[in-house]
Amino acid sequence: MEYETAGDPVTGLKWTKKTTEKIADELRLNGINVCANTVRKLLKKMNYSLRVNHKKKSSTVTVTVDERDQQFTYIKDQRKLFSQDSSATISVDTKKRETIGNFKNAGRSWCDKPILVQDHDFRSESDGIAIPYGIYEVLRNIGNIFIGKTYDTPAFAVDSIELWWRLWGKQRYLTSNWLLILADQGGSNSSRSRVWKYLIQQKLCNLHNLSVTVCHYPPGASKWNLIEHRLFSEISKNWAGRPLDSYETMVKYIKTTTTKTGLKVNCHVVDKHYEKGEKITDEQMASLCLKKHVVFPRWNYTLFPQFN
């Protein structure tokens, strides 16, 4: 047990990653015939215990409390600045991937009898996957969901924002050519993604003559992103306990999501196929009209239109 034991230096409690059956097998190899139940009793007497994983360690990217608070304050100031002239401010993120089919969906709903679903959630028996990319309009309390069918890539994220601007955004913000995007650190809109920045330049700034400021929440702080608790949580509550047996069903529940504060939600299914692994060269990055902010330049930056 020497190399299989961990423990608490304060309480003296110890635990092992071996099963009682494996320990009994090893003891029998050494001439000690005991069963797994006896091993369990002996381990308890020796102050061992069954343990589970605890999420206690910080990520490899360390952020101090002061840095986190400073970035929160900076985002707050940027939101105030953009709201003064009614420029568009959107909070973006990807909601949890869903499997389309007659499968169990978490939650409960009022009905006269239970809804029968498949006893196993086999991907091979589904009608596809749904990747909901969300765009929440902060000033207008409007949600916009774009459902992808392949991969959550930076190209899918930027295409969703461009499509939102083309379908709804430019009509709602006629007097402004500035856009503020609030995003977390990971996934398709990562602050480290070259593809994300390059496509914002090409498909938003250049195509629509938009100046786009992006502010990322600090690592580990995505739950403060507005879209999480103002849009995604409401959608999850609306379809709780209801199987997402088709894309049409999913769209219906998304579009009918409302709140007492007046939330309205649009939804659009994206049939385009996306591939992972797109690369942007150093030359392409150097061509961007990108200005990093003085405050946390790795998290805050603005891209401007390029004119030939």
**266-293 per-position pLDDT tens digit:** 999 999 999 999 999 999 999 999 999 9
Six-digit token string for 37: 């139940």
Pick from 69-73, 150-154, 237-241: least confident = 237-241
Q: Name the nearest CA neighbour of 157 among 135, 140, 130, 178.
A: 135
Task: Pick 221 or 73 by higher pLDDT.
Answer: 73
SS3 253: helix
Six-digit token string for 159: 């295409």
Pick from 20-24, 129-133, 155-159, 190-194: least confident = 20-24
Is beta strand 128-137 parallel, antiparallel or unpaired with respect to 14-16?
A: unpaired
Q: Name the nearest CA neighbour of 106 among 241, 244, 236.
A: 241
Q: How many CB atoms lie within 10 A of CB 223?
A: 9
Q: How far apart are the C-alpha atoms of 275 and 155, rounded to whole Å?
A: 9
Q: How many CB atoms lie within 10 A of CB 245?
A: 18
| CATH dotted code for 65-303 | 3.30.420.10
Tell me if the pTM is above 0.85.
no
Q: Quick: pLDDT tens for 81-128.
A: 999 988 999 999 999 999 888 767 777 666 666 666 666 666 666 778
Give how far Cα 302 sits from Cα of 176, 215, 297, Å: 15, 9, 10
Domain boundaries, the chain: 5-45, 65-303
Q: Quick: pLDDT tens for 166-197.
A: 999 999 998 889 999 999 998 999 999 999 99
Chain Cα centroid distance, residue 242: 22
Task: Give yes or no for residue 163 having a pLDDT over 70.
Answer: yes
pLDDT for 11: 46
Q: Name the nearest CA neighbour of 216 among 186, 253, 173, 257.
A: 186
Q: For tokens 């709140």, what's the residue?
A: 259
pLDDT for 133: 97
Is beta strand 290-292 parallel, antiparallel or unpaired with respect to 300-303?
A: antiparallel
**What's the mean pLDDT when you consider all of the chain?**
86
